[in-house]
Structure 1
Amino acid sequence: MLSWQTLALLALLGMETAAFAPWMHNVSPAISAVPLGRFAWLVFLIPLATYALNRLTAALHLKKGVRQAASAGGLAVSVWAALHWWIDPAAAQDMQALYQQPLKGIEEAPLVIPAWFWALAFAFGLWWRGAMLERGRLGPLAVMRSFKAGIFSLTLFVFAEYVTRPAAPDFSAGLLFLFLTCALLALMGSRVSVLERLRGGHRNSFDLRWMGTAGSAALLWALASIGGGLLLAGRVDFLGRVVEYLAVGLGALMAAPFLLLLALIQPAFDALVQKIPQVEGTPVPTPAAPELPDFTSLQQAADKVPPDMRPVFLTLGGLALAALVVWVLRATAERLENPAARPAFEDAPESETLAEGLRRRFGALAEKLRGAAGLSARERRRAAERIRQLYADFVEACARQGVARPPAVTPWEFVPLTESILPASRQDVRLLTEAYVRVRYGELPETEAEIRGVEAAWKRVQEALQKGDNKKPAA
């Protein structure tokens, strides 16, 4: 049997085929255009109401059969509403007439399913699967996979929709953005409830921080959807003016202190220039201005790009630039927060040659690229087990030094107790503890750099503990 990832990929390929090949629309069954109000009701309210019904029955501790009946009833309502509102009576009559007379060609089929319907059904199926699996303990992993697959399919769909029909943009992309945002918010609450049940009904500050982070991501995603909708609606000039005003205002704020200083010293500078005697002599020839590079070929290449495709390339370039800026800022923040985990070749020596400096820079870049490569699901689970084992070794080593962790003491409460035997390794101890707490509450490491940082911290802690053993007098 095919896995759900394979089925999702096949559904995505079918959706893209329908978007790129307009003749595929004529093969679809009879579904008429839906008013926006009914569309919003079907897409947002029915799935979210069914999901809320499942959560309510679970909170009331009803029997398993009652919960299953409620879920089946919600699904039945969704199907009934879709059949009742999406299939128009006039379209049904046309469909009956279509079956009664022979079809001479595919071009004569007048009834079409909208292209965005396939993308919406694909995203909704993944979201429904994640919502159902949330009732077990597979929720976080299924949610993240579904959300990533939904974003990927949405990006390809919007690109295909814009390329094939740039002259008739619609608001389907904005509605899909909104749908994914609502799904993210609902599943965010589901994951917190799963973690709360695993802890026996307790909620801590980690849940609040995680909800704040996910909520911020959902807000940014909604703002990005508004920007994408404006781009698809042909308001590129409006966004360009907004960005220009923001850039000019920011530049004016940054230049204000320099302009004030220049205004203060300008009179004194003019007076000093007037007092300097003018010396007449042989005029010095002005050097010829350097030749500027010829950008004619680049301009000609840019003119060959179709006008309809230029906003697409500008959007992709802007997204790539934004991703690069975010990556640089994130790497800088991690380096400032954890200087001990910095690779050794990033610390420049006092004296080095140009070749050594370039070699060191390329080594740092290669290390960052290797760390940026994501781990597979199996490798992430192995990395999580490795972190648990390292923390268990750390607790056992502390117990041998006379500082045992009582069962009622949490990992963060155990950190101050280790200061008596590890006074100079507070940062490494906190790094070990933070990695263990994340793994304990369901998070998995993303990159190899995280694992190497934890292993390096444990190695330094081991060396510190061994130095403490050597300082003890022999019995």
Structure 2
Amino acid sequence: MNNNVPLHSTRSTEHTNWRHLLLFIALVLMEGLWLAPWLHYLLASPLLDNPVPMSFENMTIFVFFNMFFGLIVRRTLVYYRIPFKNQQLPIIGMMVISILASIAIIPALTEDGGSISFDYVAAFRTSGLSESDVLPIGYIITPFVMLLYSRGTMIGRYPPEPIVVGVRSRFAILMFFFVSVLVNDVETQNTLSVLLPFFFAAILLSNALARSTSLKTSATIRRVRFGRQWALTLLGSTVFTVSVGIVTAALLGSLNQEQVQRILAVPLFILGAIGVIVSTPFLFIIGVIAEAINIENIAPEREITESGTREVVASADNPQINIGDELRTLLDSASTVIVVGVLVLFALIIVLFWVSYFLSGEKEQLEEAGESISERENIGVKIFSNIKGVLNRLTDLPKMVGGNLFSSLTIRWAYARMEYIGRKRGYPRLKSQTPYEYIPALMKAFPEGESHIRTITNAYVAIRYGELPENEGELNQVRQALDTLKTLPAPKK
């Protein structure tokens, strides 16, 4: 392999998988959310006597700035397929830049509220220190920057295995709660409680993404099973799980309403911002209509009496009607209802779409790249027809559950039996092999049985992803394939 090829011709398409990118971001969030309180606690401890008086929020910014910078540097080098032995010099050079940038912005992050300073000589000067200073700020910040930057580069080196992510998650939970016990500052504890939902969300996302990226599947299966729909579903389930967990913990911990509101303040702010963005166009249109029909001066009415004609003017008993003001008052009182109604309608449309998508038999049609315009125009009809079909099938739920369980057990038994016979014939399945990787060995154990092997393997892989036989005929094909494999002679040694 020639390492002197220009960079622009060696861009990697293998490492641009968006699942890997989300996994790296989730891992940085997970580790940064427990490293930030530890560094804040260490700097404020009697060991260092708080040489950099920095709030916990600014410490979090400092941590993520260096970790994400290291991640970006590593992923850029991997993207251009630079060999690992040639990556050390660029990484060290960028580490120096990260150190210099951190020292420059530290004065702006401290509680004194200083400005960015590029006086690096003063940051490392040992003369002129006050009695309270242990070391110059440069010597204190540099090791922390090196730690955070190196963690970012290590995370971005390659996608870790699920077991590694699981161990990191458990260690992160231990360290997060350990430092929450050590910290006596009420303000820091309140900030930790706000970060708690994001911490658990990062853990759940990183574990799920690690499992999806570690599966050795074809591009088609990966796109269908772990596509953008899967990512949105994963994100929604993560938000729901974390929210339920936080509310349950609040109830069990006897937290008061103020504490619960503080914990959920940031997530609710994000959801509220999304709601404002969604509802703003509707409210703007309603406001324009209100301004258009606003009548400031209504012509006075005239009343004919015996003495002639007189004008009826506005008074306490006969007030003048202003349509625009009345409409604005009505809109002000109903603004909350309008916003909530729009959000509920928007969420209902999304829920109905995903329910019909995942529970219908037309999922493959939505995956077709060549979907016609007429099919897109009729998508609403398809959604409601699919939902109607799902509701009709719910009446046969007991039968469905029993039949699905029987089909799953039958296919698993057939694959286990095929694997057992293959092992007896001298071709065992390795622990690291996936079902598809085991097919070549099975073809040696069952000569001329490739089609039957693939029938059983495909059915076995399908049920692992929740796909069950649609009818009894497909299940019979699996049984017949196993019976045929049993009759095939063993290979000659």
**TM-score, normalised by the number of residues in structure 1:** 0.37
Greater fraction of residues in helix = 1
**TM-score, normalised by the number of residues in structure 2:** 0.36
